[in-house]
Amino acid sequence: MLIKEKVEQAIQILQERSVDCWITFVRESSMVRDPMLSFLSHSDVTWHSAFIITRDGETVAIVGELERKSVEDLGVYSRILSYVEGMKEPLLKTLKELNPGTIAVNYSEDSEIADGLTHGMFLTLEGFLRELDFQDRMISSEKIVSSLRARKTESEVSRIKEAIGHTLEIFDLVRDFIRPGLSELEIAEFMKREVNARNLELAWEKSHCPAVFTGPDTAGAHYHPTGRKAEKGHVLNMDFGVKVRGYCSDLQRTFYLLEDGERSAPEEVNHGFQTILTAIEDARSALKRGVQGREVDAVARQFIVSRGYGEYPHALGHQVGQFAHDGTALLGPEWEKYAGKPFEPIEAGMVFTLEPRLTVSGRGVVTIEEMVIVGDHSAEYLSEPQKEIYLV
């Protein structure tokens, strides 16, 4: 069971990082959901609840009485404490018994994946801890959460691979569907119908999953499909993913619509495509345990610039898991908006995208997005990589 796997991982990570205790403090989680709750419980909680894991292997859940049975059914927690009137008493009693020197709590300045605690809930928890004089023992759980999300278990990788398989099959289908005169919206709707026929979920908001861009002067990324029509001589690219059993894929593919009399894409398009292929392969080789994400981004970024193109205006790649954009470590440049993410050491088991892009003047944007899993010496493709531009 996935939750059991992740709880066991959490204990190991607490031991590695010499952190005594990790608390995920939540309430009304169907409304304000902590990103880590799905690793701790199958169901939402209504009242103030605390999921506590210690480096000594203690696993404690403190929940409202009516939610006790749902947590018991998990078979994960060594102690389940429930309450009717209020959770302060069982929480303080438990923490007093555990007496942790450090308490990692679900907040973070830099990582949204570790920042599920609202300010009001932070104040509530801090108030509880003050009664034990434990308030100064609180630290951010960012390092714990980052490693827990990063280290994919076999179950997680299996789900991601399944999502990738569906995504590639749908790309193959849409490849035969695309023709000049179809709009971005029509192409996107074809793909959504196939997703629905398979009873799958989209990996991100349906307004721009898939994202379809054809020809020059498009929005380029993170924008919804429009009525713009695919034309001969256009480069067309798509960003698309699905979710299978809670885990996502996120891939991009590039197509070229042949002009009358053409049998292959023009030289400038092929040059751009080959540049992207090499940048991805070089980055994959550089991506391994222990390096920083900024180093891997620099490999692809510098190569693309050396070939006469401008820098891509985003990170080379992000982690993928239960969300299309998941985890803390990022393959990105040292830009303010990325804070400390590009400096995080890469861990084995992380799943990343590799997605550089460049613009071919008068044709459109050439980009590929592959998914890889990090190993000790390099990363391996999880997705069957696109090696040739798809001709339409």
DSSP 325-385: SEEEEEE--S-GGGTTGGGSBP-TT-EEEE--EEEETTTEEEE-BEEEEE-SSSEEESS--
Which two tokens mark 351? 């799943």
Q: Taking residues 165-175, report their average pLDDT.
A: 97
Amino acid at 239: D
Look up the CATH superfamily of 2-149.
Answer: Creatinase/prolidase N-terminal domain (3.40.350.10)
Give residue-wise pLDDT tens across range 248-279: 999 999 999 999 999 999 999 999 999 999 99
Give the helix/strand (H/E) hosting 242: strand 242-244
Average pLDDT rounded to a whole number, residues 314-333: 96
Q: What is the pLDDT of residue 378?
A: 85
Question: What pLDDT does 146 receive?
Answer: 95
Closest CA to 82 of 120, 55, 33, 47: 47
Q: Is the pLDDT of residue 69 over 90?
A: yes
Domain with CATH 3.90.230.10 in the chain: 151-391
Please provide the average confidence, as pLDDT, over all residues in the chain: 96
Confidence of residue 160 (pLDDT cuts 50, 70, 90): very high
pLDDT tens figures, 25-57: 999 999 999 999 999 999 999 999 999 999 999
Q: Would you place residue 222 in the very low, low, confident or very high pLDDT band (cuts 50, 70, 90)?
A: confident
Q: Residue 107 above 80 pLDDT?
A: yes
Segment 342-356, tens digit of pLDDT: 999 999 999 999 999
Q: How many CB atoms lie within 10 A of CB 103?
A: 23
pLDDT band at 212 (very low <50, low <70, confident <90, very high): very high
pLDDT of residue 77: 97
DSSP state of 183: B
Q: What is the edge-to-edge ordering of all strands in the sheet holding 201-202?
A: 201-202, 242-244, 247-248
pLDDT at 49: 98
What pTM value is reported for the model? 0.93
Query: Looking at residues 62-70, what average pLDDT do you find?
Result: 96
pLDDT in tens, 95-104: 999 999 999 9
What pLDDT band is residue 218 in, cutting at 50, 70 and 90?
A: confident
Given a cut of 80, is residue 2 above it in pLDDT?
A: yes
Topology adopted by domain 151-391:
Creatine Amidinohydrolase (3.90.230)
CATH 3.40.350.10 occupies which residues in the chain?
A: 2-149
The answer on pLDDT for 76 being more than 90 is yes
Establish whether the linkage from the previous residue to 100 is cis, with ω within 30° of 0: no
> Considering the chain, what percentage of its residues have pLDDT values greater than 70?
100
State the alpha helices, DSSP H only, in the chain.
2-16, 68-72, 88-98, 119-130, 142-150, 154-177, 184-197, 267-286, 293-306
Give the pLDDT mean for 197-216: 95
Q: Which tokens is 335 given?
A: 């830009």
pLDDT tens-digit series, residues 117-127: 999 999 999 99
d(CA 275, CA 273): 5
Q: Tell me if residue 53 falls in helix, strand or coil.
A: strand
Share of the chain above pLDDT 90, in %: 96
pLDDT of residue 84: 97
Q: What is the pLDDT of residues 300-310, one digit of tens each?
A: 999 999 999 99
Exposure of 150 in the CB half-sphere (CA atoms within 13 A): 23
In the prediction, which pLDDT does 219 show?
75
Q: Does the CA dihedral 326-328-331-335 come out positive or negative?
A: positive
